[in-house]
C-alpha cells in the first residue's frame, strides 16, 4: 500500500473510534455498560455506587468521548494534509501524541487497579500500528522528507 492508502486507513480507523466515542456521549447507558463489563467484569452497578455516582460515571464517559472526538478530528486533519504529503513532522506528531496517550493512560489504568482498560487501549492501537509502521520515516515507506 502507498502513503495515500495508509492515510485513508488511518482516517477510516479514526472514524470507527470516533463513532464509538459518539456512542459514549449519545448512548451513555450502553457504552457505560460496555466499559463496566471491561473494567469491573459485570454490567451490574458496582457495589457501593449510588445513583449520583452512576450519573457521574456516565458524565466522565461522555467527557472522555468528547475529548477523544476532538483529538481524532485534529489527527484526521493532520493525516489528510501534511501526513499524506509525506511531511515527516506529521508522522512524529501523530506517533508522539498516540504513544504519549497510550503510556499515560495505560500506566494510570494499572496504577489505579484497572488493568483491563489497557486491553481497550491495545485495541485502539492495533488499528493504527500497521499504517504507522509502514509510513515511519526511514522505514522505506513513502515519506517525502
Is 145 a member of any domain?
no
- Tell me which residue has cell 466515542: 21
Cβ contacts of 33 within 8 Å, gap of 6 or more: 43
Is 67 a member of any domain?
yes
Is 64 a member of any domain?
yes
Is 107 a member of any domain?
yes
Please count the structural domains in the chain. 1
Per-residue pLDDT for 67 more than 60?
yes
Helices 28-40 and 116-134 pack at an angle, to 10 degrees, of 100
Domain that holds residue 74: 3-134
Per-residue pLDDT for 145 more than 50?
no
Per-residue pLDDT for 59 more than 90?
no
pLDDT for res 144: 46
Is 141 a member of any domain?
no
Is 83 a member of any domain?
yes
- Global pTM? 0.82
What mean pLDDT is predicted for residues 27-31?
72
Is 44 a member of any domain?
yes
Is 142 a member of any domain?
no
Alpha helices in the chain (DSSP H): 3-26, 28-40, 51-78, 88-111, 116-134
Amino acid at each position: 500500500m502507498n502513503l495515500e492508502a495508509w492515510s485513508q486507513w488511518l482516517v477510516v480507523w479514526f472514524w470507527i473510534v470516533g463513532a464509538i466515542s459518539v456512542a459514549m456521549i449519545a448512548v451513555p447507558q450502553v457504552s457505560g455498560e460496555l466499559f463496566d463489563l471491561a473494567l469491573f467484569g459485570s454490567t451490574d452497578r458496582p457495589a457501593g455506587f449510588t445513583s449520583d455516582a452512576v450519573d457521574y460515571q456516565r458524565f466522565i464517559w461522555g467527557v472522555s468521548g468528547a475529548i477523544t472526538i476532538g483529538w481524532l478530528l485534529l489527527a484526521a486533519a493532520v493525516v489528510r494534509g501534511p501526513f499524506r504529503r509525506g511531511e515527516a513532522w506529521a508522522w512524529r506528531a501523530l506517533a508522539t501524541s498516540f504513544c504519549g496517550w497510550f503510556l499515560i493512560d495505560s500506566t494510570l489504568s494499572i496504577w489505579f487497579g484497572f488493568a483491563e482498560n489497557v486491553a481497550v487501549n491495545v485495541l485502539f492501537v492495533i488499528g493504527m500500528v500497521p499504517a504507522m509502521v509502514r509510513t515511519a520515516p526511514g522505514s522505506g515507506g513513502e515519506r517525502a522528507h
